[in-house]
Each structure stands twice: as C-alpha cells, then as structure tokens.
Amino acid sequence: MHNEFGDSDAVELQTRILQYRAGLFDPLTKLPTLPVVIDRVRQMLDERGNLYVLLVRIEHEQNLERIVGWERYDAVLASVAGHLSGLLEAVTDSANLLCQENVRGDIFLVILADHFEAGRLHDTLIEGIEITNENGEDELVAVRVGQGVIKMRPALRVERTIYNGILDARQDFHRRGEALDQARLDEVRRILRDRSIRTLFQPIVRLPWRKILGFEALSRGPEGSYLETADNLFGFTERAGMLGEVEMLCVDRALANAKKLPEGAILFLNLSMLGLEYIESEEPGLTGKVKEAGRSPMECVLEITERTYAESADRLRERVAELRKNGFRIAIDDMGTGYSALHVLAELQPEFIKLDKMLVRDLPDEPIKRNLVSAITTFAKDSRSVVIAEGVETEDEVEVLTELGVELQQGYFFGFPEPVEKLKNTNVLTFKREPAKSF
C-alpha cells in the first residue's frame, strides 16, 4: 500500500507533537499545566460535587529570583515540585492532582476532593517546604498558600466553574499575603529599632600556606524568624522599599563586630547598588563609617554582583571610581552564575573575582568546570585580578583549585560562618598597605 506521508511529513508531524507537548508540560518539573488536566478536574467534580484548590507559590518569588539568579531559582522550583508530589502521594484519597498554571511558571495548583485533607495540607505547607539546597543541606523554603472551592453549579459552564474556584484561591492568596507582609514589615521595623542584625564571619584562606587573609561579613536576621536567612531578609526588605536602611545597619554591625577580628584582616562587605546609594546619602558615608570604626578603607573589599551592575551601570562605575580613590577594593561576586558576565569584569576591572560555589562543586569530576575555572584564572592574571573560590568543601576541591591557580579559597572546608567570638582559626597573613590590585 502506498504511503501517503513522506519522511519529511513524519518529521514535521513529530516536531509539531513535541512543540504541542512543550506547551502543555513544564520541562523543568515535568508537571502538566492546567489545560492538560481540565478534563480530569471535570470528572472529579462530577464524582464529588465540590473540590478544594490550593494555590502555592514561593515567598517573594520575583525578588528571590533576582537575588539568587534564575538557575538557582529553577533548582528550588524543581525541589518544591518534588516535595508537593510526595505530599500528595501520602494522601489516602486518590482523587487529587498537582499541576502548574503555566509552562515555566512558578504557581502550583493542588486540587483535592477531601476538605479535611485540603486543610491538613494547607497547614503543612504554610510551615514551609524542606528541600536539599545546592550545598547538600536541608533548607526551609517559605511558601504562600491560598485556598479556594470549586462548587458544582449546573447553571454554569463547568470550565468557568473550575476557573472561578482557582480565582477564589488566588484572591485568598493575596489576602493572606497582605496580612503576612504587614507582620513582617513590623518585624523589619523592630530589627531597625533594636539593631538586631547578627554578623557572621567566614574566613578566606590563602593556599598553600592555609593562612587566613581576611573574612567575609555575612548578615542574618533574628534567630528563628522568617527574616533570619539572607535571601529572606534582603528579598523582603527590597520588596518593601527598606533595603537601603537594612543594608546600612548590616554594614554598621559588621564594622562594629570586625573590631574584634585579628589586626590586619581584610574585611569583605556585601552591598547592593540601593544599599550603597543609601549609605552614601547619609553622613558620614561609607568611607566615614569605616574610618570611624577604626579601619582603613584599604582593609575593606566591597562585593558586588552583575545584578548590582545591571541596575545602574553608569552610576555604579562612578561610585566604584570614587571608592577606589578612597582606598576600597572591589570584588565581583558569584562568577559562574546566570548573573555574572565577562563584560562586567572588563568594565569594572575588579581586584577580586569570586567563583560561585555552583562552579566549585564537583570540580574534580567535571572537566568542563575545570576548563572554565582555568579560563577565568588566566583572564584574572592578565587583568591583574585575584580569584577567590567560594563554597569549597572537600580536600579534592582544594587540590584541584590550587592546581588551577586559585590561591584564595573560602568555604565550609576551612570554616563555617560564625560570630566573631566563636572564630577558632584566626591565623592571619601580615597585611601590607599596598596599591590596589595587590593582596
């Protein structure tokens, strides 16, 4: 029998099928979108009469993605999807389903037939979702949850009945979010009033001598609070328009605690463009604050990311030039992530380039990563910058990084972030006040 379809037709048909599927199933989480499951929802509604919807989304999703980068945010989304799937598998009633609202979106819809199970799942989710982060550690991801009910109404078209129930969940999501935001805004005001930012210090070590060159100051909110972690603290305060005030407090607390560091230790400070502009607008400015704390600007390195650069490139270049004149040095942070770009290195010419921990992880076993690190170290040498590897956790990583010319390293292998009083190893290299570009 003659085949009506040629090879090219078969390929085109297969391509269209794949394109169709790509528009209905999320490639990251492998979950279906709402259009795929709408018939199943209709069937559940016919069988049960009422269904219960939970709309689930990560806290402050847009700010979080901007802070950590889309790649790491994707990893969090995939972990959250896996956790939600596991929770639904534990539900005894099989009449439930999980989907995403859109492909590449970050809104999950959980539809259940049992009111009690819906309430129980809601209460579980608002406590947070525990995932394993890129460091292999357990991390609690805060999510917001809205509830809605899909009620069978014979007078209404069933699809619109379903969409109305999801709309109820969305409206509940926003109502709960407004109340939660107000409570957290009050918490930020208490932090500013009580100056209750905690500063932890993590050593930066020079190889092969394994002596400490300096410390990165890491800021945390009150222990046990939602704002304890850096992502939550800075993500929420940026969204609330209070990032500048909070970052200035973080710098103040870091400088105060750094007085107890060994003499000569270089202090690495993290600042966003908003934070830097806010501090510079308030007397005595960053240089004045550092000097008032008894520290020379030459003993300070300001860490910025490409995201900071992208927000206001011209203004940041001006600020960097001014700060360099006063003795500060600059580090580009998170090199190797979706945010870092070579053009930023070329334009800012930082004294330090910090490799992101995602680039360092499993470095001994991944030739492509080794080649990339080698290229960055060559670039750094040619541009008179110094590379610092973050997230170093194993002896093998230390050895490979050292072989690739990365003499400055930081990570759990050398020391966890600790309050200054608990720092155990403070063997600091002698610090010489030399021109920028040296260390």
d(CA 304, CA 315): 14
Least confident of 31-45, 48-62, 232-246, 364-378: 48-62
pLDDT band at 437 (very low <50, low <70, confident <90, very high): very low
pLDDT beyond 50 at 72: yes
pLDDT, position 226: 86
Q: Which CATH superfamily is domain 7-185 in?
A: Reverse transcriptase/Diguanylate cyclase domain (3.30.70.270)
8 A C-beta contact, residue 240 and residue 181 = yes
Q: Would you list the DSSP string of 288-314?
A: HHHHHTT--GGGEEEEE-HHHHHH-HH
Token pair of 193 as six digits: 């009033």
Number of Cβ atoms within 10 Å of the Cβ of 39? 11
pLDDT beyond 90 at 406: yes
Spell out the CATH class of 196-422: alpha beta
For CATH 3.30.70.270, the residue range(s) in the chain are 7-185
- Highest mean pLDDT, choosing among 174-183, 219-228, 250-259: 250-259
Average pLDDT, the chain: 86
pLDDT tens digits, 286-321: 999 999 999 999 999 999 876 666 667 788 888 889
Q: Which one has a higher pLDDT value, 66 or 265?
A: 265
Whole-prediction pTM? 0.76
124: left (phi over 0), alpha (psi -120 to 50) or beta: alpha
For CATH 3.20.20.450, the residue range(s) in the chain are 196-422
